Amino acid sequence: MEDIRQAVERAKIESELRSAPRLEPMRNRAADDRPAERKRSLREVKLESAFLQSRRIVAHDGQDPRSLPFDILRTEVLRAMDLKGWKTLAITSPTPGCGKTFMAINLALSMARVPERQVSLLDFDLRRPQVGRTLNLRATEGVTDVLEGRLDADNATVNVRAGSSNLEVMPTGSSSNPSDLVASSATTKFLDGLARHGQTQIVVLDLPPLLTGHDVISILPHIDCVLLVAAVGTSKVSEIEQCKKYLQATDMVRVVVNKAPLATTHGYYY
């Protein structure tokens, strides 16, 4: 009886995944009302569209049709976050390589195009940090140094200008002991402090995969909501179900199906 119930449940999830709107694989083309707590960051970097497109980053340009799925997702996520007064959004996936960093950067850039929004993107993947590298920030310091007390947050932040987006990015180098660092009281204090920024502030965190370590489990209690990125050809239904169990105590705003072969947009409410 239990087996039948599980099979029915599995068939239901598989059918939902099949019918969910899709974010299609993206091909490379040729290439102040700031919150009172934050001072202006010291470094400013302007990124060119051609460079960004070569890294599949497109959502800084609202005229590029490829930014549409991110804009739709942004609208839905911001609506959900505003309704609940949430400020921090974490992006994770069941396993590596599903497109978390791709999603975090594009979604943050899309959010940053909304007038009055102040958006920060933090690389909290202390094992395989990729935000700085993807944006070519040439920064070796960031989140890890702030958590370990070597750098203050303003000096760890880069002001990224791309198209009509103005995004504050805190990259990171990798940590020699990420599990202990993310479980530390310094991390708790830092994450809890993020939610106290101004009304229009949104903080997007690029996290490691959920099922391959403990880091996300340590971070989740200090985050308002989560977006789960699953990838066609990579993510299994059983992995999404496992994530669902880990995320029971956390508000999940969306599951996004990435790298789907069919056109149209993105994920669905879970």
Ligand X SMILES: Nc1ncnc2c1ncn2[C@@H]1O[C@H](COP(=O)(O)OP(=O)(O)OP(=O)(O)O)[C@@H](O)[C@H]1O
Contact residues for ligand X, defined by CB under 6 A: 23, 25-26, 56, 93, 96-102, 125, 128, 130, 209, 258-259
Q: Which residues does 12 contact at the CB level (< 8 Å), separation at least 6?
A: none
Closest approach of ligand X to the CB of residue 125, in Å:
5
Cβ closer to Mg ion: 197 or 223?
223
Q: Is 234 in the site for Mg ion (CB under 5 A)?
A: no
Residue 258 interface partner, choices Mg ion, ligand X, none, CB cut-off 5-8 Å depending on type: ligand X
Cβ closer to ligand X: 42 or 263?
263
Residue 5 tokens read as: 């119930």
Residue 193 interface partner, choices Mg ion, ligand X, none, CB cut-off 5-8 Å depending on type: none
108-123 b/e (C-beta count within 10 Å ≥ 16 → b): bbbbbbbeebbbbbbb
Closest approach of Mg ion to the CB of residue 172, in Å:
12
How many residues lie near Mg ion (CB under 5 A)?
A: 3
Residue 93 interface partner, choices ligand X, Mg ion, none, CB cut-off 5-8 Å depending on type: ligand X
Cβ closer to ligand X: 93 or 265?
93
Choosing from 130, 179, 184, 188, the residue that interacts with Mg ion (CB under 5 A) is 130
Closest approach of ligand X to the CB of residue 99, in Å:
3
Closest approach of Mg ion to the CB of residue 239, in Å:
17
Choosing from 100, 222, 254, 266, the residue that interacts with Mg ion (CB under 5 A) is 100
**Which spans of this chain sit near Mg ion (rule: CB under 5 A)?**
100-101, 130
